[in-house]
Structure 1
Amino acid sequence: MKRYGIMGGTFNPIHLAHLYIAYEAKEQLDLDTIIFMPAGNPPHKKNKSIIDSSFRLEMVNLAIEGYKDFMVSNYEIEKQGLSFTYETLKTLKRDDVELYFIAGGDSLMDIEKWRNPDQILEDCNFVVFNRGKFSIEELEKQKIKLEEKYNANIILLNVANIDISSSMIRERLEEGKRVDFFLPNKVLKYIVDNRLYEGDLND
């Protein structure tokens, strides 16, 4: 049976912490493939400014070059309407595939606010990395609660807390500050060449 990790997100833009977490999930859980799934029209971010999906998809393609067993899917981008996790998992689910959905601690705490959380937790192993917003005790408590309620399998990933976010990168770009510490070189070049975010990147 194949073991696929699903790394969803707007990737606006993708950064080095995304790649690190995906790599650690693959290594720690012995996954065959990590599938990066850029969101098309995410319901929880519909009021926020997100650059066109074609740019975000290409940045992910550039970021994962050279990483064995990393791939990207355009399913949620090509799909019509809002992108819901339960629909994505249902599409990927097969008898010969075991799914591992990789998400942050905030997703674990809020998952019961998502559409059809019972279906999500039935169709995948829910893999959680901690961004430092919640304590280990809080995550463990939520893990136990959800596992008992939904008969779920929730895995807390052991990763370093790398405090990089796409919103922080966008803010620095708008302010003309350097961001080459946080992005793959090819992604940064793509942003500059396509003038995707405001700011003078040469400062």
Structure 2
Amino acid sequence: MKKIGILGGTFNPIHLAHLYIAYEAKSQLNLDKIIFIPAGSPPHKKNQNIVEASLRYKMVYEAIKNYEDFEISDYEIEKKGFSYTFETLRNFKDKDNELYFITGADCLVNIEKWKNPEEIFKLSKFIVFNRPGYNKDELETQKIKIEDKFNTKITFLDIIDLEISSSMIRERISEGKRVDFFLSKEVLNFIKENNIYNYKNIK
């Protein structure tokens, strides 16, 4: 039985905190591999300005290509319509694997608003990492509430809180500020070469 971590996201762009979270999840949970799944059309971000999927896919590919047991899937990009987590998990679940869905504290807080959350818990083990701005005591209360409601077990990852976000990186680029502190050199070079987020404004 293979233990597979599923790490989805818009990855607009993928940054060092994403890589750190994936590495810690693989290490702490003894996973066989992590699959990064860039979102195609995320329903909760349909009104936001998101770089086209092919560029986000390539940025993820560049970020993870030198990491053993990190893989990328274009499942949600190639899928038509909105990308729902329960459908993605259905696609990757089979009798020979055990899925670990890795997500942030914001998702734990809002999981009851997601489509078919009960199926998400049946298809995978729910792994949560903290995000800056979330109170850990309140998250523990929410964890217990969700576990009781859906008869499931939620695991918190023990990680350092890194205050890096894709939105912050995009904002810094728009302001002409350097972002090489937050991105792998492969992703930074790809952004430069393709002038993503109007990177040419950086001095």
Give the secondary structure class of the aligned counterpart of 1:198: helix
Give the secondary structure class of the aligned counterpart of 1:87: helix
Does 72-81 or 131-140 show the bigger shift? 131-140
8 Å CA contact 1:102–1:129 kept in 2: the answer is yes
Does residue 174 of structure 1 match 2:174? yes
Partner of 1:78: 78
Partner of 2:87: 87
Does residue 51 of structure 1 match 2:55? no
TM-score normalized by structure 1? 0.98
Query: Which amino acid counterpart does residue 79 of structure 1 have in structure 2?
Result: K
Does residue 132 of structure 1 match 2:128? no
Query: Which amino acid counterpart does residue 39 of structure 1 have in structure 2?
Result: A
Q: Percent identity?
A: 58
8 Å CA contact 1:105–1:133 kept in 2: the answer is no
**How large is the RMSD of aligned CA atoms in angstroms?**
0.9
8 Å CA contact 1:14–1:63 kept in 2: the answer is yes
Give the secondary structure class of the aligned counterpart of 2:71: strand
8 Å CA contact 1:6–1:101 kept in 2: the answer is yes
After TM superposition, the structure 1 = structure 2 runs for residues 6-17 of structure 1, keeping only pairs within 5 Å, are 6-17=6-17
8 Å CA contact 2:174–2:201 kept in 1: the answer is no
Partners of 1:202 and 1:93 lie apart in 2 by: 43
Give the secondary structure class of the aligned counterpart of 1:197: helix
Partner of 2:39: 39
After TM superposition, the structure 1 = structure 2 runs for residues 22-37 of structure 1, keeping only pairs within 5 Å, are 22-37=22-37
Partners of 1:161 and 1:72 lie apart in 2 by: 24
Partners of 2:66 and 2:51 lie apart in 1 by: 25
8 Å CA contact 1:177–1:200 kept in 2: the answer is no
How big is the shift at 1:201? 5.5
Partners of 1:199 and 1:193 lie apart in 2 by: 9
Partners of 2:4 and 2:153 lie apart in 1 by: 15
Residues 40-71 of structure 1: CA distance to partner in whole angstroms, max 9, x if unpaired? 00000000000110000000000002111000
Give the secondary structure class of the aligned counterpart of 1:49: coil
Give the secondary structure class of the aligned counterpart of 2:198: coil
Partners of 1:4 and 1:199 lie apart in 2 by: 35
Give the secondary structure class of the aligned counterpart of 1:24: helix
Residues 97-153 of structure 1: CA distance to partner in whole angstroms, max 9, x if unpaired? 100011100100100000011111111111000013222211111111111111112
Does 132-141 or 117-126 show the bigger shift? 132-141
How big is the shift at 1:200? 3.7
8 Å CA contact 2:3–2:32 kept in 1: the answer is yes
The aligned length equals 203
Give the secondary structure class of the aligned counterpart of 1:66: coil
TM-score normalized by structure 2? 0.98
How big is the shift at 1:171? 0.5
Partners of 1:63 and 1:180 lie apart in 2 by: 13
Partner of 1:194: 194
Stretches of structure 2 that go unaligned for 5 or more consecutive residues are: none
8 Å CA contact 2:173–2:202 kept in 1: the answer is no
